A and B are shown apart, each in its own frame.
Chain A
Amino acid sequence: MTELLAGPFATLAFGNFGAQFWIDVGVLAAIYGIFTAGLQLNVGFTGLYNFAQAGFMAVGAYAMGILTASAGWSFWLALPAATVITVVFALLIGAPALRLRGDYFAIGTIAFSEVIRYVIQNTPGLTGGNQGLLGFDEAWSRVADGVLEGLALSRDYDSVPLLVVGWVTLIVVLVVLARLQRSPWGRALKAIREDEHAARALGKSAFALKLQSLSIGAALAGVAGYLLALDLSYLSPQEFLPISTFIGFTMLLMGGLGSYTGVAMGAVVTEFLLDGTRAIELPLSDAQVAPLRFMIVGALLILLAVLRPQGLLGKREEMVLRR
């Protein structure tokens, strides 16, 4: 999809930015798409304002990184272990916090997310702190190099394997979630979103269902986290600021609440606006371009909230306004 969007532009206006640039944008779109798929499940379909997604992403990324680089685990074993650890963190905050009402849950989860980030920053012995964490991607590099050789691609295309893995993962995740949504389990989640008390009166355990939804959402953030780790090949707490969560929400609103197709579209469009626009030559320094990109996120969030809260592809009736 990125290629479709980017192709004509790349040749027209952004001559300096070759395929490599757009591959990287595509990788980020896939990673944040997986991240946002979790938000869609939580926010769009369960009515849970999960603001800890960046924190869960950090847990997934660092769990994989620490297990591989410091504890000497096999990379392939560290991936499922990191996912499990992320779910444990989701249970840790979810179990006590789920009884909180909408905006209180949002504040509680954003605080949890920030606690995670500061703990990473303040425990350099374990996480490398602000120096960052390195040396967890050897196993992946060997695979990626093998794929590059197999496809006879040059080093310029070294992100292609991650692009493929990212997009295949995203599509599988979205298809599975969309199917789950049509199952009795998915319908029960929606019932809770619409009227928790009615759902409980029908014998559904709102608490258990919400906790399951949060855990799956967090697990997806964990997956996005270690894909991001592979993309960056180092980890630093600065990658997991609350702004990542808010970028996820921008993608969510962009694509539309209650639409899994919208997640992929929102991820591509938002990523294009955020990173793709770096290809536009502006008479500005790098120090000025960075805030400009975040101003775009802010303006988009306001515009979407005011004009089209259900998102571009979203359905009005899928949106819970009052909570």
Chain B
Amino acid sequence: MLARFCTGARPRLQKRGVGRLGGGRGHQRLEALDSLGARAGVTLVVLVAVGAALSLPKGLEPVLQVSVNGLATGAYLALGAVGLTFVYGILRLMNFAHGDFLTFGAYMALLLNVTVGAPLLVAILFGVVATALLSVALEFCLWRPLRRRGAAGLQLVLATIGLAFLIRYTIQLIAGPDLQQLDVNVTSSYTLFAGVRIGRTILIAATASYVILLAIGLILRYTPIGKQMRALADNSDLAQTTGINTRRLITLTWALGGGLAGLAGAMYVASIGSFDPEFGFTLLLAMFAAILIGGAGNPYGALLGGVVIGLAQEWSTLFIEPGWKIVVGFAILLLTLLVRPEGIFSPAGRL
């Protein structure tokens, strides 16, 4: 493994050396930024082009309609994926329990919204806070002791799978396996343009999600804490030697990842109407697909990856039965893994 890592890294080091001779470090950083921006730009152009191409045989209106649906789905997937990718970047932990964090957030919102009768917004906030707390508590009770024992690889993966079951089926034990619904208006909808309709709740939830995603993007880019998190995700050893308080950052990462997962879960179930304790796990593989498209550990990549998966799933409904929608996400996941496992936004050879 080490050997492969070294051979993968060597060409990059050489390239960097050449760059330093040419233009200095600032120039390098600019280039990296440009390439990230360029890749994101190209991806967006490709998405629009695919949408336009689809509208030739299918007509503009249906394509716009499914694109709007896809952007909404993409927002929740992206919210979930950001936390997943951060935890992977910083702890090298593929968290199979992340989908069930979404479920937890949704059921906490349900608890307050339906059982207690609190307003939806308060309930969603409660779901966010509760999931963040759960996530941080697990860092202290499970992940930190496991790291101290030097756990890695299979041991960690199986612990996350066990945790996934424990969370999901505890919820099912208490809330039952039946479909549940938040106290939310799912019937009224708006006409956006050209006959494209969107549910009122979906519009609000998706818009809010994108605003939050944008805010997170800005925080990561410009605040010290955001820069530290990205540094830690990019190269934790190097970040540690520069004096970053890794313990505090790891806790913060779990809080952020858990909170966003809770938010994604609550928003998702508010939009789709009914849900059961299995829904989070069903979304997990789509979130894995999102983070792998973006390159695991890259938060911006996860954002865009979520949108790509959301759009691809909804576009597929133009051609095939909606029952295949979820398979489209898995197919993209497999394709990404097999063709470009380092993701489309990362330089090649990081694996």
Contacts and interface: CB of A to CB of B under 8 A. Distances in A.
Contact of A118 (B158, B161, B176, B326): B326
Contact of B351 (A101, A291, A301): A101
B347 to A, nearest CB: 17
B236 to A, nearest CB: 15
B152 A114 contact: no
A303 B324 CA distance: 37
B157 to A, nearest CB: 6
A297 B168 CA distance: 12
Given A118-B327, A197-B4, A302-B166, A102 B159 contact: no
In this complex, the interface size class of chain B, counting residues with CB under 8 Å from chain A, is 35 or more
B305 to A, nearest CB: 14
B327 A119 contact: yes
Contact of A104 (B3, B154, B337): B337
Contact of A115 (B3, B94, B170, B334): B334
A118 B289 CA distance: 17
Interface in B159-209: 159, 161-170, 172-173, 176-177
Contact of A103 (B3, B157, B177, B321): B157
B161 A246 contact: yes
A11 interface: no
Interface stretch (A132-140, A176-184, A208-216, A315-323): A315-323
Contact of B146 (A115, A290, A306): A306
A112 B327 CA distance: 10
B151 A305 contact: yes
A297 B323 CA distance: 30
Nearest to A309: B155
Contacts of A196: 1
Contacts of A302: 142, 159, 162-163, 166
Interface string A180-200: 000000000000000011000
B351 A299 contact: no
B153 A292 contact: no
Interface residues of A, number: 49
B123 interface: no
Interface string B3-41: 110000000000000000000000000000000000000
Contacts of A320: 153-154
A305 B155 contact: yes
B177 A291 contact: yes
B162 A301 contact: yes
B331 interface: yes
B182 to A, nearest CB: 22
Given A114-B330, A115-B331, A306-B159, A107 B150 contact: no
Given A101-B351, A118-B326, 20 more contacts: A49-B157, A103-B157, A107-B333, A108-B338, A115-B327, A122-B321, A196-B1, A246-B165, A287-B176, A290-B177, A294-B168, A297-B165, A299-B166, A300-B162, A305-B146, A305-B159, A305-B162, A321-B150, A322-B1, A322-B153
Interface of A: 43, 49, 96-97, 100-104, 106-108, 110-112, 114-115, 118-119, 121-122, 196-197, 243, 246, 249, 253, 287-288, 290-292, 294-295, 297-306, 309, 320-323
Enumerate the 10 nearest inter-chain pairs by beta-carbon distance, A residue then B residue, closest first. A301-B162, A298-B165, A298-B166, A291-B169, A302-B162, A305-B159, A291-B172, A294-B169, A291-B173, A103-B94
